[in-house]
Structure 1
Amino acid sequence: MEYSLRNNLMEIRIESLGAELVGMKDLITDMEYIWQKDPKYWAKSSPILFPFVGALKDSRYFYEGKEYNLSLKHGFARDCEFQMSGQGDNYLEFLLTSNDKTKKVYPFDFKLYVKYIIKDKNLRIEYKIENTGGKEMYFSLGAHPAFNIPIGKEIEFSDYYLEFEKEETGEVNTFNGTLISSQKKIKAFEGKILNLDRNTFANDALIIENPNSNVVYLKNRKNSRGIKLVYKGFKYIAFWNKPGAEYICLEPWNGISDFDNASGDLKEKIGIEKIKKAEVYHRALDITIL
């Protein structure tokens, strides 16, 4: 089921399947900023990545001596039906609770809340994870919003660039198939600017570990329209596009695909988060239409 929320300046749309953001429109210009799911390239708009980010080595992992199999990339939350858990004039909140189906592939009891709040042209997304089980809980959490580019007349994909709040080394992880290479990183850029073109993502996503910046802007050289993303509290920021498609994903992650030399032990997984019994985990993103 689709839900919508609007003020005088913007409107968002949320699909209860995956609690996925499927629309973010500037009501002044009537411009839609979220990718509208063209299956030819990618049939998602902004999936929630939980309880894993990326791929698992051999589609499995081990926890307390037991093997669990999960072939889905980016976990299962994006394909689960969320329940509406709260709403008001400026917010919508959704909830996914562990159940018999999730326990078959992920042995933890949890509640995952996702809350969308709008103010002026800003969308705040708040994530809350409750460990409702009797043991420590291991998980990853990531966001994957895809933004339409180009937007507007006489603008090309190559007119766009990413501008970071602070200087970055531009060193990014590389892939070995669907896994992260344990042997190689590359220098994708240096400084505050990452210029975009149709070949930027020919070798899959660009993943920056422990970025200096908490803010990145998506801008173009032809007009002042763009996006500001604030992602404080996330260990990784990734960028991705399916070559040929007219979007770019800005992806804050707390977690990452398995490395090609991963042991498979969940407790040893690089980037994994951990919370104690009854502990509550909070993270938030702010997306502003410029």
Structure 2
Amino acid sequence: MEVRLNNGAVEVKIDSFGAELRGFKDLETGREYMWKRDPEFWGKSSPVLFPFVGVLKDGKYCYNGKEYFIKTRHGFARDNEFELVKKEDTCAEFLFRSNEKTREVYPFDFKLYLKYTLEGKKLVIEYRVENLEDEKMYFSLGAHPAFSTPLEGNSKYEDYYIQMDQEESGELNILNGALVDSKKKVKGFDGRKIVLNRDRFAGDAMIIEHPRSTKVYLKNDKTGYNLSLTFKDFKYIAFWNVPGAEFICLEPWNGISDYDNCSGNLAEKKGIEVLEGKEKFVRKLEIEIL
């Protein structure tokens, strides 16, 4: 089911399957900022990553002496129908809750809410995780919005660039296959600016651990394309693209793929979040057309 929000400045489209953001259109210019989901490259536009970010080593983990198997990347929430629990002209809220099927691979009772709210040319996305149990709950949560990088006029893909709001070391985690390399990091850029090119993501995502920045911009000075993403209280920010595709993903995470030397014990997992019994975990993103 498609849900639309419109405040006269922008129009947003959300699919209840995965509560996935499918459209973010500037009604003044007619520019669509979300990736068109071309299956030749990547058939999604903004999946929610829960209860894991990335992959598990050997597709499994151990909790309280029992093994659980999840072969899919980024958990399972994105591949399920969400319930629409609130709808107004400029706001919609979706819910996915644990069930018998989820408990087979993830032994926690939870509610996961995604709330979308329009404020001018800004879209606020609130992620809320509720632990329904009395015991601790271990989980990861991530966002994965893909923004279109159209080649308008005489512009080239290389005219697009990412700009951090703070100086960064440029040090990146790298992957050993699908797992995070435990032995080394690489110097990926200098300062605040990352210029895009077709080979930038040939080795998969660029992952910054504990960034100083809380806001990142995607820009093209030739076309006037200017978008910001504010991501306070996230442990990682990652950038990703399929070489040849006209999009770039800006991905704030609280969690990360397993390291190649991990134990497989869920409580020891790098980047994992711990939610006490009956507590709630809330994070917000702000996507704004500038």
Name the structure 1 match of 2:125: 125
Name the structure 2 match of 1:8: 8
- In structure 2, what is the Cα distance between the partners aligned to 1:82 and 1:72? 19
Name the structure 2 match of 1:79: 79
Q: CA deviation at 1:225?
A: 1.8
Stretch deviating more after TM superposition (220-229 or 73-82): 220-229
Q: What is the number of residues matched between the two proteins?
A: 290
SS at match of 1:28: coil
TM-score where L is the length of structure 1: 0.99
- In structure 2, what is the Cα distance between the partners aligned to 1:113 and 1:120? 23
- In structure 2, what is the Cα distance between the partners aligned to 1:67 and 1:284? 32
Structure 1 gaps of 5+ residues are none
Name the structure 1 match of 2:159: 159
Name the structure 1 match of 2:147: 147
C-alpha contact 2:35 2:147 (8 A) present in aligned 1: yes
Name the structure 1 match of 2:93: 93
Q: CA deviation at 1:42?
A: 0.4
C-alpha contact 2:151 2:157 (8 A) present in aligned 1: no
Deviations 1:65-114, CA, capped at 9 Å, x for gaps? 00000001000000010000112231000000100010000000000000
Name the structure 2 match of 1:242: 242
- In structure 1, what is the Cα distance between the partners aligned to 2:213 and 2:202? 25
- In structure 2, what is the Cα distance between the partners aligned to 1:160 and 1:270? 32
Residues 180-199 of structure 1 mapped to structure 2, 5 A cutoff: 180-199=180-199
SS at match of 1:226: strand
Structure 2 gaps of 5+ residues are none
SS at match of 1:31: coil
Q: CA deviation at 1:119?
A: 1.2
Stretch deviating more after TM superposition (246-255 or 146-155): 146-155
- In structure 1, what is the Cα distance between the partners aligned to 2:273 and 2:116? 23
Deviations 1:118-137, CA, capped at 9 Å, x for gaps? 01110000011100013100
Instruction: Give the partner amino acid of 1:248.
Output: I
SS at match of 2:162: strand
SS at match of 2:102: helix
Instruction: Give the partner amino acid of 1:247.
Output: F
- In structure 2, what is the Cα distance between the partners aligned to 1:151 and 1:226? 14
- In structure 1, what is the Cα distance between the partners aligned to 2:198 and 2:284? 30
- In structure 2, what is the Cα distance between the partners aligned to 1:225 and 1:37? 20
- In structure 1, what is the Cα distance between the partners aligned to 2:6 and 2:122? 11
Q: CA deviation at 1:151?
A: 5.2
Query: What percentage of residue pairs aligned between the two structures are identical?
Result: 56
SS at match of 1:133: coil
Q: CA deviation at 1:159?
A: 0.2
Instruction: Give the partner amino acid of 1:179.
Output: L
Name the structure 2 match of 1:285: 285
SS at match of 2:212: coil
Instruction: Give the partner amino acid of 2:63.
Output: Y
SS at match of 1:135: coil
TM-score where L is the length of structure 2: 0.99
Question: Closer, same or farther in 2 for the Cα pair 1:151/1:119, shift >3 Å?
Answer: farther
SS at match of 2:225: coil
- In structure 2, what is the Cα distance between the partners aligned to 1:109 and 1:178? 28
Q: CA deviation at 1:152?
A: 2.6
